[in-house]
């Protein structure tokens, strides 16, 4: 559909086919509604707000649109509640890989907090092993359907707790078995990343990668601490970096010192547009800072955050951005290559995915689109 200015968004079927890279996706935020219901029945979890998949999906979406990060996080009570056995964790991870592959994701880094899954006595290593096994099963099943995906795991520590050093050590113990990095998450206000400085210093001594949720619900101080005190490789969300950018009435732009540092050092921003609107980090997709940050050349990536709570997918996020900012295939490839460059994989493996899957995939889509334009009725 062409708008008043003559722009036609990228067709949905082409976006669905586009190779995608996902860096910010929570395992406990992406369950299938039917799976939540079945796991609740299997485990005796009786607190679900709905018993039918469609109704439960609607409840999660409605509850997530709270304009509050804290209220948004409360929805995870139910998904975490049914992920307390090895079988449940393995199933959720397997289905996650299958669902992402079906969405065109060729590489994903999926994060979860092992400390949240110990309510029924599972050990931390046992939790990690179950999730890794599930992802491996999902990768193999996707391959049988002609869909290629590789999943790397990020182990998350809760910033409101005190287990970050133990989780950091766990990530090192499993880094040669599929764990590619570390993260901290949870409510930002009152829980600065520097509370976990011991974990970050340990990871740096081990030459390990980590990202930090920062600049989502809290502002520039959170971003500054994550980078300058903790040494984050990437910023989870980082949307509030826009507070350090001044846009004048004439359209001229001035970057503050922190914003300039983030851009010039090419620090990746794991942007999650729909989620940011839900938690009031952005007022709307059209007003999301991703448009300005992309124009200014920040290392911006597109992500889902929580596919269940946001009712989203990578295809959906790209469709929203194409419509709101008039992005074409070149822009979507730019976001995708940014993400692949920023992945916690060895350089040669990142380059291989860019040159053998991402660029050829987008070249094919451009050819399809050009053919459609040539052969479409006048």
pLDDT of 54 above 90: yes
Residue 106: CATH number of its domain: 3.20.20.140
pLDDT digits (tens, 9 = 90+) for 245-266: 999 999 999 999 999 999 999 9
pLDDT of 36 above 70: yes
Would you place residue 63 in the very low, low, confident or very high pLDDT band (cuts 50, 70, 90)?
confident
pLDDT of 134 above 70: yes
Do the domain assignments include residue 6?
no
Q: Give the C-alpha separation, 317 to 302, whole Å.
A: 7
pLDDT on residue 4: 53
Would you place residue 101 in the very low, low, confident or very high pLDDT band (cuts 50, 70, 90)?
very high
pLDDT digits (tens, 9 = 90+) for 226-246: 999 999 999 999 999 999 999
Annotated catalytic residue, options 216, 270, 317, 319: 216
Q: Residue 71: which of 240, 287, 256, 309 has the closest Cα?
A: 309
pLDDT of 276 above 80: yes
Is 216 one of the annotated active-site residues of the chain? yes
pLDDT of 72 above 90: no
Do the domain assignments include residue 7?
no
Find the distance separating the first CA and the last CA of the chain, reported in whole Å: 14
pLDDT on residue 56: 95
pLDDT on residue 373: 87
Domain span at 220:
12-372
**Order of strands across the sheet with 105-112?**
20-26, 105-112, 150-158, 179-185
Do the domain assignments include residue 133?
yes
The three state secondary structure string of the chain is CCCCCCCCCCCHHHHHHCCEEEEEEEHHHCCCHHHHHHHHHHHCCCCCCCCCHHHHHHHHHHHHCCCCHHHHHHCHHHHHHCCCCHHHHHHHHHHHHHHHHHCCEEEEEEEECHHHHCCCCCCHHHHHHHHHHHHHHHHHHHHHCCCCCEEEEEEEEECCCCCHHHHHHHHHHCCCCCEEEEEEECCCCCCCHHHHHHHHHHHHHCCCCEEEEECCCCCHHHHHHHHHHCCCCEEEECHHHHHHEEECCCCCEEECHHHHHHHHCCCCEEECHHHHHHCCCCCCCCCCCHHHHHHCCCCEEECCECHHHHCCCHHHHHHHHHHHHCCCHHHHHHHHHHHHHHCCCCHHHHHHHHHHHHHHHHHHHHHHHHHHHHHCCC
Mean pLDDT across 298-304: 98
Name which of 27-41, 137-151, 206-220, 300-314 the model is least confident about.
Answer: 206-220
Do the domain assignments include residue 1?
no
Using alpha carbons only, give the angle 134, 109, 243 rounded to the nearest 5 degrees.
Answer: 145
pLDDT of 6 above 80: no
Q: Is-contact 357 105, C-beta < 8 A? A: no
How many domains, in total, are found in the chain?
Answer: 1
pLDDT on residue 216: 84
Would you place residue 5 in the very low, low, confident or very high pLDDT band (cuts 50, 70, 90)?
low
Do the domain assignments include residue 73?
yes
Q: Which residues of 6-16 are buried (b: 16+ CB within 10 A; e: fewer)?
A: eeebbbeebbb
Which whole-number Å values give the CA distances from 221 to 129, 192, 269, in the listed order? 36, 9, 16
Mean pLDDT across 50-68: 89
Do the domain assignments include residue 270?
yes
- Average pLDDT along the chain: 95
Q: Give the C-alpha separation, 186 to 256, whole Å.
A: 27
Would you place residue 310 in the very low, low, confident or very high pLDDT band (cuts 50, 70, 90)?
very high
Mean pLDDT across 93-117: 98
Do the domain assignments include residue 362?
yes
Q: Give the C-alpha separation, 290 to 325, whole Å.
A: 9
Do the domain assignments include residue 160?
yes
Q: Is-contact 109 178, C-beta < 8 A? A: no
Would you place residue 119 in the very low, low, confident or very high pLDDT band (cuts 50, 70, 90)?
very high
Would you place residue 2 in the very low, low, confident or very high pLDDT band (cuts 50, 70, 90)?
low
pLDDT of 290 above 70: yes
């Amino acid at each position: 559909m062409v708008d008043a200015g003559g722009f036609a968004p990228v067709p949905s079927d082409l976006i669905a086919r586009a190779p995608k890279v996902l860096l910010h996706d929570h395992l406990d935020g992406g369950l299938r509604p039917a799976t939540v219901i079945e796991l609740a029945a299997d485990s005796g979890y009786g607190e679900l707000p709905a018993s039918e998949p469609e109704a439960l999906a609607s409840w999660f979406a409605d509850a997530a649109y709270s304009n509050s990060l804290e209220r948004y996080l409360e929805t995870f009570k139910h998904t975490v509640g049914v992920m307390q056995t090895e079988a449940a964790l393995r199933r959720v991870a397997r289905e996650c890989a299958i669902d992402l592959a079906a969405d065109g994701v060729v590489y994903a880094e999926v994060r979860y907090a092992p400390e949240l899954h110990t309510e029924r006595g599972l050990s931390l290593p046992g939790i990690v092993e179950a999730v890794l096994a599930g992802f491996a099963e999902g990768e193999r099943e996707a391959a049988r359907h002609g869909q290629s995906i590789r999943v790397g795991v990020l182990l998350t520590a809760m910033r409101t707790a005190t287990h970050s050093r133990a989780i950091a050590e766990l990530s090192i113990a499993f880094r040669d078995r599929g764990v590619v990095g570390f993260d901290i998450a949870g409510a930002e206000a009152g829980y600065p990343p520097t509370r976990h400085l011991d974990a970050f210093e340990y990871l740096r001594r081990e030459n390990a990668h980590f990202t930090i949720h920062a600049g989502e619900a809290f502002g520039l101080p959170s971003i500054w601490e994550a980078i300058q005190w903790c040494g984050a490789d990437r910023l989870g969300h980082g949307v509030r970096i826009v507070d350090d950018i001044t846009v004048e009435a004439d359209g001229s732009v001035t970057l503050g010192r922190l914003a300039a540092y983030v851009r010039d050092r090419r620090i990746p921003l794991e942007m999650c547009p729909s989620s940011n609107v839900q938690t009031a980090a952005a007022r709307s997709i059209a007003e999301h800072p991703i448009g300005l940050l992309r124009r200014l050349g920040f290392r911006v990536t597109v992500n889902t955050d929580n596919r269940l709570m946001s009712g989203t997918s990578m295809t959906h996020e790209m469709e929203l951005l194409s419509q709101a900012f008039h992005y074409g295939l070149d822009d979507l490839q730019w976001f995708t290559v940014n993400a692949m460059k920023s992945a916690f994989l060895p350089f040669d493996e990142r380059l291989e995915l860019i040159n053998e899957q991402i660029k050829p995939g987008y070249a094919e889509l451009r050819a399809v689109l050009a053919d459609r334009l040539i052969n479409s009725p006048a």
